[in-house]
Amino acid sequence: MAIGEVLKWKSFAHPDGEARDLSFLDAHEVTYTQTTPGKPDKVYRFFVTYSCHCFCKDYEGQTEADKAALMYHAPKESRPFCERRYTLARLYLRGVIDSLATRKVMHAGYGSYAAVELELENGDKEYYYVVFDVFREKKKYRMHISSAYPVEGRPGGKAVSFFVIAYNLSTGKKLPLPPK
């Protein structure tokens, strides 16, 4: 499939000398199965891609030298590498995407959706704002993760079922919008 997103991420050569592997963000397929008693299962296969915003962030207060040392050059843009976003993405992002069907998904504005609550390895909860768009491309279902980052406190936004999003996409209906 010819798409305009990164399919294979190159590692980041961190200034500390340790390369940060980004292959966990390579494009992949995820299958979601909707099971309803008395009805045949509905299967939705999405081809998933990720933005560099899942592991990069331009922080206020960073010196130009720090920004230059941490700069990651993606095909569409260059941004400073962020260790916190990288660590969260490496440990949790793929699991969040794989489990969207059972997670709380909410409207994130501008036609995007987000999954927010995360249980850390130590059992604590954290709010991890994973912003994604779904669309059809060449008759395939696509999902693009445009950003993923920690937030303080639970973000607002109306909940929406991931299967409603997938069903509407599959039938050509308008994707769910937040209530006005």
Residue ranges in the chain assigned as alpha helix (H)? 64-70, 83-88, 94-98, 162-171
Looking at residue 31, its pLDDT comes to 98
Domain ranges of the chain: 12-171
Looking at residue 178, its pLDDT comes to 82
In this structure, the chain runs to a length of 180
Structure tokens, 6: 């990164």
Looking at residue 153, its pLDDT comes to 83
Q: Give me the amino acid identity at 7.
A: L
Q: What is the pLDDT along the chain (180 residues), one digit of tens a residue?
A: 456 799 999 999 999 999 999 999 999 999 999 999 999 999 999 999 999 999 999 988 889 999 999 999 999 999 999 999 999 999 999 999 999 999 989 998 877 889 888 888 898 888 999 999 999 998 899 999 999 999 988 888 889 999 999 999 999 999 988 877
Q: What is the pTM of this model?
A: 0.92
175: closest CA among 120, 118, 133? 133
Looking at residue 136, its pLDDT comes to 93
- 21 dihedral zone (left: phi>0; alpha: psi -120 to 50; beta): beta
- DSSP symbols for 154-174: PPP--B--HHHHHHHHHHTPP
Looking at residue 179, its pLDDT comes to 75
